[in-house]
Structure formats: structure tokens, C-alpha cells
Amino acid sequence: MTDLSGKVAIITGASGFLASGIVPVFRKAGASLVLPGAEDRLYDRFPELKDADNHLISATTDLTDPDVVEQLINNAIEKFGRIDILVNIVGGWDAGKPVHETSIDTWETMMLLNAKTTF
């Protein structure tokens, strides 16, 4: 990977499975990381970040809420002065039923989590 020293990267979905492969790559490349997610899961998955002052662990979990996202961005800018990279991997899947048997509530939740967070 390219040298990302001095760059600030937000990696959404940082406490999820996909992030376990992405966060270490960005960290090794030298990026300062902004990691929204379930704080306890983040520290379990990435214990080396617990006391790292060049990263921002955020207990932000509802990225479908514009106010929460705005606060995350403000916190990142306050700490680092800017944001250079967005890795938007937050998402989820409620598997099992065929689409025609999926409830509207489940459909809306999946759309919020997988589409609205990208917007």
C-alpha cells in the first residue's frame, strides 16, 4: 500500500468483520485512523489502539443518524484538522428469507444501514 503517513482516514464499520483486514493495512501504511463503532469490540479487535494518541476511537454506532455522523466528522476535524480518506464499509445483512418474504421493517433497516450510510 502507498505511504499514508500524515493522512487521516475514517473507516466506518470499524468494529465489523471486514474492518479486521482493512484497519491494519491503513495503520501499517501510517494513516491516523478515525474508527466509529462499538468501542468494546474495537478495543477487543485492535488492542494496540487503546492508548494510541494518533487515532480516534469513537463510540459512534448509529451512522444512519445525520447528527451522529456530523458529530463524528466534527470530532475528527477537531483532533486532526482534516479528513483525507473515507473507507465506507459499514453495513449489515439480515439473511434467511427470500426478498418476497422479507418484512418491510427488515427491508427498511437494511436500506438504512447499507444505502443511507453511504449517502
Q: Do β-strands 56-58 and 85-88 pair in parallel, antiparallel, or remain unpaired? A: unpaired
Phi then psi for residue 76, to 5 deg, are -65, -45
What confidence tens digit (pLDDT) does each residue in 66-105 have?
899 999 999 999 999 999 999 999 887 777 788 889 889 9
What confidence tens digit (pLDDT) does each residue in 4-61 have?
999 999 999 888 888 889 999 999 999 999 999 888 888 888 888 888 888 888 877 7
Is residue 91 within 8 Å of 53, Cβ to Cβ? no
- Answer whether residue 1 shows pLDDT above 70: no
Is residue 88 within 8 Å of 63, Cβ to Cβ? no
HSE-CB at 29 with a 13 A cutoff on CA atoms is 15
> E strands of 13-97, at which residues?
32-36, 56-58, 85-88
Higher pLDDT, 117 or 108: 108
Phi then psi for residue 54, to 5 deg, are -95, 15
- pTM for this model (two decimals): 0.84
pLDDT at 81: 96
